[in-house]
């Protein structure tokens, strides 16, 4: 059997591996981090003397407490072994997978020091690491400059964007203000508008085109008719459900810089590191990101760093600053500190260190993370072709621009209700048995997804249900299509699916 290429083999060094193949490296690295941390504590104030004596450590109650803690820790580790095996190539469900070793090591190293990135007073190094991490992220989007900070996740980063959009219009205009989003936008936009006190009518959803992307023709007709003040427009670089990318390039030209343009790239943003190809839709939209006003990105998704780590990035520095607050017990050095401008006060440096170390080692470019993600696109295309060739009756949704596959089953009865039942059954049965696979599922209302209704009608399916259930597969695992393992996961998945689907 042909083995992996040299370049792909080198990328394997960045992950623990599904069978913990790089365990020795990680174990030594953990010991080195701990040893450096211990030596640092010992070296700082040696004349202060020890607070825990050798006699203390031999005390029976002291020893009993340590024994109890060790046992409880072992119990916790055992309990966590019942968690979802998201590290395995058998996990094809939601937007998490194997962690990268740089992400994990950066997280652990910062965790021991536990700086609070609210201000330089409580984080001498952590804030600098965060600033460098943010610079690496905005350079990936080809911005010559920018500002931003890390958040606990994409929802908070989206809130950060809304706050800056609102600051661009006068307060007396806020009650009538509107936010334009794709009909496929993440639910956090509606949630954040409510948090900020906007009425439900503030959200204006732009219908989707035949590919399930924001309709540029509808938007073009809508823009001249808008009378209410506009907070901004939110486009998607990788929708949560299907990995769809809006036509950001065309939309940016339609806006003519009159409206704040925010891109929710929480999932797909790291695909900007993929090699640019001529006549590629993905490349065209990735290049268009250099002209938008702000971006949401989640390193804890396709950046392969531990939860929770999101990012809000602002292209123009002047647009980043929207408030000036003070706290008598915190010595902010200036209004430019992230602690002044961020929604969250106390913020860990773990995400910053994880992102920083990933940027420094793997790199957010076409030969680093970009190569990993390019591989995902190759896997998606080959996996879809394999499923179409070997499993009868599968219908894949249009507009899958990234590494997510969504599909339904065309039943013999030709009824959507029966198709939904089959999807539910597949979702329930795949994780069972001695060769389990884990997928996710979603349900798209046909009222908001006319493109999908048309696709189902074309397949001669009777639309006797209001929504379409879809099996959703997020193909993030770096080892899903490896040539080294005894199990060929895509082939094995097809065999299991065919077995489940008998009788359709």
Q: Give the tokens for residue 377.
A: 């696109």
404 and 352 together in one domain: no
350 and 376 together in one domain: no
How would residue 327 be classed by pLDDT, with cut points 50, 70 and 90?
Answer: very low
Q: What is the pLDDT of residue 503?
A: 58
Q: 100 lies in a domain?
A: no
Q: How far is CA 240 from the centre of its chain?
A: 9
354 and 375 together in one domain: no
How would residue 484 be classed by pLDDT, with cut points 50, 70 and 90?
Answer: confident
354 and 388 together in one domain: no
**Sheet arrangement for strand 147-151:** 147-151, 310-314, 294-297, 261-264, 230-236, 178-182, 203-206
Lowest mean pLDDT among 52-61, 113-122, 187-196: 113-122
Q: Is-contact 364 136, C-beta < 8 A?
A: yes
% of the chain residues with pLDDT over 70: 95
Q: Cis link prior to 308 (omega < 30° from 0)?
A: yes
Per-residue pLDDT for 199 more than 70? yes
> Residue 324 belongs to a domain with what CATH number?
3.40.640.10
> Residue 424 belongs to a domain with what CATH number?
3.90.1150.170
How would residue 120 be classed by pLDDT, with cut points 50, 70 and 90?
Answer: confident
Q: 340 lies in a domain?
A: yes
Q: What is the DSSP string of 62-105?
A: HHHHHHHHHHHHHHHHHHHTTS--TTSTTB-SSS--PPBHHHHH
472 and 495 together in one domain: yes
Q: What is the pLDDT of residue 413?
A: 80
291 and 389 together in one domain: no
Q: Rounded distance, CA 484 to CA 2, Å?
A: 9
314 and 419 together in one domain: no
Sign of CA dihedral 387, 474, 137, 255: positive
Q: What is the pLDDT of residue 157?
A: 98
Q: What is the pLDDT of residue 118?
A: 87
311 and 346 together in one domain: yes
387 and 324 together in one domain: no
Q: 435 lies in a domain?
A: yes
Per-residue pLDDT for 325 more than 80? no
Q: 18 lies in a domain?
A: no
CA geometry: angle 347, 350, 355, nearest 5 deg: 110
166 and 205 together in one domain: yes
Place of tokens 């600051």: 167
Please count the structural domains in the chain. 2
Longest dimension (CA), the chain: 82
Q: 183 lies in a domain?
A: yes
Q: What is the pLDDT of residue 492?
A: 95
Q: CB-based burial of residue 380 (10 Å sphere; 0-12 exposed, 13-18 middle, 19+ buried)?
A: buried
**H or E segment and range at residue 385:** helix 369-390
Q: 49 lies in a domain?
A: no
Q: What is the pLDDT of residue 332?
A: 42
| Per-residue pLDDT tens digits for 225-272 | 999 999 999 999 999 999 999 999 999 999 977 899 999 999 999 999
Q: Rounded distance, CA 163 to CA 167, Å?
A: 6
At residue 333, the 3 state secondary structure works out as coil
What does the mean pLDDT of the chain come to? 93
190 and 250 together in one domain: yes
Q: 321 lies in a domain?
A: yes
Range of the domain at 155: 106-361
Q: Give the tokens for residue 86.
A: 């998201």
How would residue 330 be classed by pLDDT, with cut points 50, 70 and 90?
Answer: very low
Q: What is the pLDDT of residue 10?
A: 87
Q: 430 lies in a domain?
A: yes
345 and 407 together in one domain: no
| Per-residue pLDDT tens digits for 275-295 | 999 889 999 999 999 999 999
% of the chain residues with pLDDT over 90: 86
């Amino acid at each position: 059997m042909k083995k992996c290429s040299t370049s792909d083999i080198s990328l394997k060094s960045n992950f623990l591996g599904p069978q913990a193949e790089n365990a020795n490296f990680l174990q030594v690295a953990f010991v080195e981090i701990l040893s450096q941390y211990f030596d640092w504590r010992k070296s700082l104030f040696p004349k202060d003397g020890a607070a825990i004596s050798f006699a203390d450590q031999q005390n029976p109650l002291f020893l009993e407490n340590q024994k109890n803690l060790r046992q409880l820790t072992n119990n916790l580790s055992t309990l966590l072994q019942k968690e979802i095996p998201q590290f395995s190539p058998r996990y094809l469900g939601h937007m998490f997978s194997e962690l990268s070793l740089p992400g994990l090591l950066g997280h652990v190293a910062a965790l021991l020091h536990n700086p609070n990135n609210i201000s330089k007073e409580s984080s001498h190094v952590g804030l600098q690491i965060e600033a460098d991490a943010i610079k690496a992220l905005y350079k990936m989007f080809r911005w010559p400059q920018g500002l931003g900070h890390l958040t606990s996740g994409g929802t908070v980063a989206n809130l950060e964007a809304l706050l800056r959009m609102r600051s661009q219009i006068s307060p007396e205009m806020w009650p009538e203000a509107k936010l334009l989003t794709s009909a496929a936008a993440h639910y956090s936009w509606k949630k954040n508008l409510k948090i900020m006190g906007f009425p439900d009518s503030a959200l204006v959803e732009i219908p989707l085109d035949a590919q399930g992307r924001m309709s540029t023709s509808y938007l073009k007709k809508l823009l001249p008719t808008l009378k209410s003040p506009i907070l901004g427009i939110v486009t998607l670089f990788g929708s949560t459900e299907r990995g769809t990318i809006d036509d950001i390039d065309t939309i940016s030209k339609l806006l003519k810089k009159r409206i704040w343009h925010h891109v929710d790239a929480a999932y797909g943003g790291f695909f900007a590191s993929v090699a640019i190809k001529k006549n590629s839709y993905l490349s065209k939209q990735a290049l268009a990101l250099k002209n938008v006003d702000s971006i949401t990105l989640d390193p804890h998704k396709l950046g392969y760093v531990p939860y929770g780590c999101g990012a809000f990035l602002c292209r123009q520095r002047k647009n980043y600053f929207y408030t000036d607050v003070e706290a008598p017990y915190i010595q902010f050095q200036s209004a430019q500190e992230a602690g002044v401008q961020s929604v969250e006060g106390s913020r860990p440096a773990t995400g910053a260190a994880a992102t920083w170390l990933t940027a420094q080692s793997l790199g957010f470019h076409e030969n680093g993370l970009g190569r990993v993600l390019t591989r995902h696109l190759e896997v998606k295309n080959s996996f879809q072709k394999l499923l179409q060739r070997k499993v009868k009756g599968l219908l894949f949704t249009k507009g899958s621009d990234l590494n997510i596959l969504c599909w339904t089953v065309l039943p013999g009865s030709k009824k959507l209700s029966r198709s939904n039942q089959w999807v539910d059954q597949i979702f329930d049965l795949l994780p069972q048995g001695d060769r389990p696979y884990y997928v996710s599922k979603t349900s798209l209302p046909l009222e908001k997804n006319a493109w999908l209704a048309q696709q189902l009608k074309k397949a001669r399916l009777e639309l006797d249900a209001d929504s379409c259930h879809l099996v959703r597969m997020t193909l993030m695992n770096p080892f899903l299509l490896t040539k080294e393992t005894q199990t060929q996961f895509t082939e094995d998945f097809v065999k299991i699916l065919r077995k489940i689907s008998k009788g359709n």
